[in-house]
Structure 1
Amino acid sequence: MKYIVDTLELGNFYTESGELIENLKLRYEHVGYQGQPLVLVCHALTGNHLTYGTDDEPGWWREIIDGGYLPIHDYQFLTFNVIGSPFGSSSPLNDPKFPQRLTLRDIVRAIESGVKALGFERIAILIGGSLGGMQVQELLYNRQFQVEKAVILAATDKTSSYSRAFNDIARQTIHIGGKEGLSIARQLGFLTYRSSKSYEARFTPEQVVSYQHHQGDKFKESFDVACYKRLLDVLDSHNLDRDRTDVAEVLAQLDTKVLTLGFTDDLIYPDDQVRAMGSRFQYHRHFFVPDNVGHDGFLLNFNDWAPNLYHFLKKSKVRR
């Protein structure tokens, strides 16, 4: 089995705003067996390219793969660290001239450049949750690759006003408090990623304060302030229909078979909005995940929803 973690250098790259990234860098993980169908995985806001990882440090979706839902012997997996993120791709952390404004379409065009640079033209499975699911939508609309099946988890076709409100509060806390503000922003984010039911089930009122502080303190040491602000801009920029008039027509004509998954008590990307986004595709199935975790369900409790992923990938015919 091949396991590669490396960085592509792809030359000059201009963002939507016209700003230049000199010698675009894309950090990536590529794991699996050469010649097997390609799975392109798109990671979430504070995630990274280590989907599979190593035995000593398993990746964030290792359980999905080794659990047999996407068997390592049946596929090869490719994940890029999105630009703007602090884990190796071009970002404010390693490029002092990094653009001040970054959009979702910028990070998707960068990923498309990386896929082409590695010589792939066909994607068997395109999959992502939250910010990753937004990337999947843009990749499908752009039609740069032949995509057989796509899976979109906990993502809608535009960022909601509710989500943008939380993002703006996060910016304000960072502006006021710098690194300590980043800790508070992370604590605020956790309240939107998890449901009130999951908090009640897991914590006493005394325990929850300690848990929130722990999450904030851990995050402020592992993530970069400037990177987080750029990625909040990326989230806010997401609107599949922005400055486009043909989205409905394009999505309705795609041959790609699409599965969407919505999660109970997802505050920022509710199930009904996830389903509505998926219904724009010609071949679409939707699954509602009845757990009480909330938005972060796509990163947890795999046995509650991954069997539906497995069966969808095994189906040769998909109807509405």
Structure 2
Amino acid sequence: MTNYTVDTLELGPFTTESGETILNLKLRYEHVGYQGQPLVLVCHALTGNHLTYGTDDNPGWWRGIIDGGYMPIHDYQFLTFNVIGSPYGSSSAHTDADFPKHLTLRDIVHAIELGIKTLGFDRINILIGGSLGGMQALELLYNHKFEVDKAVILAATDKTSSYSRAFNEIARQAIQLDHSEGMSIARQLGFLTYRSSKSYDRRFTPDQVVNYQKHQGNKFKKNFDPLSYLTLLDVLDSHDIDRDRKDVDEVFGRLDTKVMTMGFTDDLLYPDDLVYATGARFKYHKHFFVPDNVGHDGFLLNFNDWAPNLYHFLKVSKFKRK
């Protein structure tokens, strides 16, 4: 039986970029696998959680990647933290009335770094994340608190696009007008950016799509906390790897980390060319383009369409320097 742990770290006082303080930082995490195996740090997306693998009764959001043989459970150990601000067990406005009013991507990455150190890890063999998870990976690489052998960045760029921020602001205004119905509208709006028009046309009739959108909105407003969602929209909008930094290209250019980026057809939020340009800032870089027509959410779906590229990248041992 593979070792499986879900637990919460209590890490004491934590100060954010804005100077606000969390009195006792709590960080929920999942660890699956055995000590001594190569460590895979998985960073989750905006409304995701720490349950990458999950259980037989409640499979995690990337269990298909692991059990599908692309990252076999017996070859690696997997660690995922629930980001602070999220309502799934880490410190957030959902459980802490004094939670900071302003939170950034750099804050959640700083918290993850504390968690990794507390659990006794000093090296990350594989760092992987999609969307907001890919943005976390970029910050972790820049900070370089841990040696990283290989990094996989899916559907993410070096800053949040203006297009994404525009949709985030509409979602924010809807929630501020009415927490419950605003959450439904925000989720329906988000889904339109996560999927492509081709995937909608292929899957739904005009009548079916209305019911589908309402179903997604109603499910989200029941399962996700509005204050947490507002926090995470701010986190997403804060992402810019170059903010107040002039040395990003220099730092990325000297890392020995082998980086793979992957872009998806019809990703409205983070187009393939911008994903490629982000990866091109690193010394060792491979890029794959996935013509799946699902859109931005491609990294959560249709694993057989793109995970073979991941499997190959993880097996390659020699890379040419650019």
User: Which TM-score band applies after superposition, normalised by the shorter structure?
Assistant: over 0.9
**How many angstroms apart in 1 are the aligned matches of 2:319 and 2:60?**
30
Aligned to 2:73: 72
1:125 aligned partner, one-letter code: I
Q: Deviations over 1:263-292 (max 9, x none)?
A: 000000000000000000000000000101
Show the counterpart of 1:235: 236
The residue number in structure 1 matching 2:50 is 49
Displacement of 1:176 after TM fit? 1.1
Shift of 1:212: 0.1
* 1:212 corresponding residue in structure 2: 213
* Distance across 1 between alignment mates of 2:95 and 2:173: 24
Q: What displacement does 1:318 show?
A: 2.2
Report the equivalent of 1:2. 3
Alpha-carbon separation, structure 2, partners of 1:249 and 1:86: 36
Query: Contact conserved, 1:151 with 1:258, CA < 8 A, in 2?
Result: yes
Q: What's the counterpart of residue 121 of structure 2?
A: 120
Question: Which residue of 2 is the match for residue 246 of structure 1?
Answer: 247
Q: Distance in 1 between matches of 2:282 and 2:197?
A: 32
- Secondary structure of 1:124's counterpart equals strand
The residue matched to 1:133 in structure 2 has which SS? helix
Letter in 2 for 1:100: K
Query: What SS is found at the alignment partner of 2:106?
Result: helix
Tell me if the contact between 1:264 and 1:294 (Cα under 8 Å) persists in the aligned partners: yes
1:2–1:34 Cα contact (<8 Å) kept = no
1:258 aligns with 2:256: no
Range with bigger deviation, 253-262 or 310-319: 310-319
1:178: how far off? 1.4
Equivalent residue for 2:99?
98
8 Å contact from structure 1 (residues 160, 268) kept in 2: yes
Give TM-score scaled by structure 2 length.
0.99
In structure 2, distance between residues paired with 1:109 and 1:274: 24
Tell me the distance in 1 between the aligned counterparts of 2:91 and 2:258: 32
| Pair 1:295-2:296 in alignment | yes
Q: Distance in 2 between matches of 1:156 and 1:26?
A: 26
Distance apart, 1:191 and its partner CA: 0.1
Question: 1: distance between equivalents of 2:132 and 2:297?
Answer: 12
Task: State the identity %.
Answer: 78
Report Cα offsets for 1:89-108 as digits up to 9, x if no partner: 00001111000000000000
**Cα distance in 1, alignment partners of residues 266 and 280 from structure 2:** 21
CA distance, structure 2, for counterparts of residue 177 and residue 19 of structure 1: 27
The 2-side partners of 1:9 and 1:230 are apart by 21
Amino acid at match of 1:3: Y
Q: What is the CA RMSD across the aligned residues, in angstroms?
A: 0.5
Q: CA deviation at 1:34?
A: 1.8
Aligned to 1:313: 314
The equivalent residue for 1:197 is 198
Q: 3-state SS of the aligned residue for 2:262?
A: strand
The separation in 2 between residues aligned to 1:168 and 1:84, in whole angstroms, is 18
Contact 1:285/1:318 (CA < 8 Å) preserved in 2?
A: no
CA shift digits 1:40-61 (9 cap, x unpaired):
0000000000000001110000
* Other structure's SS at 2:12 match: coil
Find the aligned partners of 2:284 and 2:138 in 1 and give their Cα distance: 14
Give the match for residue 169 of structure 2: 168
- In structure 2, what is the equivalent of residue 273 of structure 1? 274
The answer as to whether partners of 1:13 and 1:21 remain within 8 angstroms in 2 is: yes
5+ unaligned residues in a row in structure 2: which ranges?
none
Distance 2:240 2:116 in 1: 23
Matches of 2:95 and 2:51, distance apart in 1 = 19
Contact 1:195/1:293 (<8 A) preserved: yes
The alignment covers a number of residue pairs equal to: 320
User: Aligned residue for 1:38?
Assistant: 39
Q: Which one-letter code corresponds to 2:59 in the other structure?
A: P
Name stretches of at least 5 consecutive residues in structure 1 with no aligned partner: none
Amino acid at match of 1:28: Y
SS across alignment from 2:173:
helix
**How far apart are the structure 1 equivalents of 2:131 and 2:201?**
24
